[in-house]
Structure 1
Amino acid sequence: MPRSTYENLVMVAATLFRQQGYSASSISDILTAADTAKGSLYHHFPGGKQDLAIAAARHSSQCVLELMTGCFERARIGNGCFYDGVQYLIEEIALLFDAMESHELSPVSATLLNGASNEAFRKEAESLFVEWKEAFITEGKRFGMAVDIVRYLGNKLLLLMEGAWVIARAVGHAGPIRDVGIIMREDQWSNPNMSSLTLMASAETD
């Protein structure tokens, strides 16, 4: 099914922002790549590039959320634990990085954190990161994990992945991203009573 003009603009902009960054991607670049007239862009995005950037960031964020859901579902189907879902997620992100012809910026930071320094972008970035954390906590609760533990792990994963992506771009391969998986496993290995904690937490978080 063909994409609508709105969808096409959003997806093209999201790709260009990842490849070049927000500031380096001009309206002209977006229109050319989308094969769309300027009037169509402003019809759907009255605020121009800024409105389009926010829509592109939301699209990229939704892709991350869907990937997260799929990885934890895979762990559940395979009778794995929460940490297996985390490992699947990290590996999927590493494979995504490997598949890129050019080592692009990470999905949300490419658009909002490399964009114009304004309050709208800051609030949007904060909102999307909160969505990721809440989704992560929801997945943890499905595995019977204590909310405090999952919140800690979610914050740790987000910080590590953003940093690992930057280093991976510098070295030209996804090794630093895969290293995050080793670091996240340390939390499981360092707490042999994690299984007991998860059982106790199930009653508290339902």
Structure 2
Amino acid sequence: MSNKPNSREAILDTASRLFFTQGYHATGLNQIIKDSDSPKGSLYHYFPKGKEELALTCINRTSEVVAQKLRNHIEISGSTTEAMVEFIQGMAMDAVQTSFKGIVPFSFWLAVETSCISEELRSACQSVFKDWQDVVMLRLMEEGVEERSAADKASVVISLFEGALLQTLTYRDEGPLLAAAKMIPVLLG
């Protein structure tokens, strides 16, 4: 085991970055070990089931980070519409500040690439989208929107966000995210 107190976090940070930038299939455990500057024993100590367990941990971690950002915006905003506009605008600013390299759409590397190789990974990705949609849906229902309509709107909002983020990164321009933010009042109004 590593004498570093944060080797698990270093492994997770490195694995997340490599999965995001290279994809699941192109990222090997040896590269994760090397780039995280962690001994091989640390990786297998923290993730005894290997790459799939590591990917599941990265999926859950990413899900919680985004869900917490969504919850924070929902809690401090006057409405779901306001919260989602601010959330998406914030992601646009984050994209620019990281030179379009620090943010990757969840669907890009996780949901698409891993769903076809493992039922456990597919199920985890499904839970991510459901968790994010639930944050939005529950707030909409608190505002009086009927459950089915709230669920549909939440699904569309998350899809819009993910698609706009993908375009933002492809074009290296925050315009698609800002355009998505402008459309939120139309969708939720």
Tell me the secondary structure at the aligned position of residue 92 of structure 2: helix
Aligned pairs for 1:23-172 (under 5 A) are 23-75=25-77, 80-103=78-101, 104-107=103-106, 109-115=108-114, 117-172=117-172
* Contact 1:94–1:174 (8 Å) recurs in 2: yes
Q: TM-score, normalised by structure 2?
A: 0.85
* Contact 1:54–1:112 (8 Å) recurs in 2: no
* Contact 2:133–2:151 (8 Å) recurs in 1: yes
Partners of 1:143 and 1:5 lie apart in 2 by 44
Tell me the CA shift for residue 187 of structure 1. 2.8
Q: Percent identity?
A: 22
Find the structure with the greater CA-based Rg: 1
Partners of 1:107 and 1:43 lie apart in 2 by 27
Partners of 1:3 and 1:58 lie apart in 2 by 22
Partners of 1:133 and 1:34 lie apart in 2 by 33
* Contact 2:56–2:121 (8 Å) recurs in 1: yes
1:51-95 deviation digits (Å, cap 9, x = unpaired)? 1011001101100011001111221xxxx2221011111112222
Where structure 2 has 5 or more consecutive residues not aligned to the other structure, the ranges are: none
Tell me the CA shift for residue 125 of structure 1. 0.8
Aligned to 2:6: 4
Q: Which amino acid aligns with 1:105?
A: V
* Contact 2:56–2:124 (8 Å) recurs in 1: yes
- The Cα RMSD (Å) is 2.2
Tell me the CA shift for residue 163 of structure 1. 1.7
Where structure 1 has 5 or more consecutive residues not aligned to the other structure, the ranges are: 190-206
Tell me the secondary structure at the aligned position of residue 96 of structure 1: helix
Partners of 2:111 and 2:45 lie apart in 1 by 22
1:107-147 deviation digits (Å, cap 9, x = unpaired)? 35423432362222111111221111222222223444332
* Contact 1:10–1:56 (8 Å) recurs in 2: yes
Q: Which amino acid aligns with 2:105?
A: S
Aligned to 1:183: 183
The structure-2 alpha-carbon separation of the partners of 1:3 and 1:73, relative to structure 1 and needing over 3 Å to count, comes to farther
Q: TM-score, normalised by structure 1?
A: 0.79
When the two structures are aligned, how many residues end up with a matched partner?
Answer: 184
Tell me the CA shift for residue 171 of structure 1. 1.2
1:158-179 deviation digits (Å, cap 9, x = unpaired)? 2212222222222111211121
Of the structure 1 ranges 11-20 and 105-114, higher mean CA displacement relative to structure 2 is found in 105-114
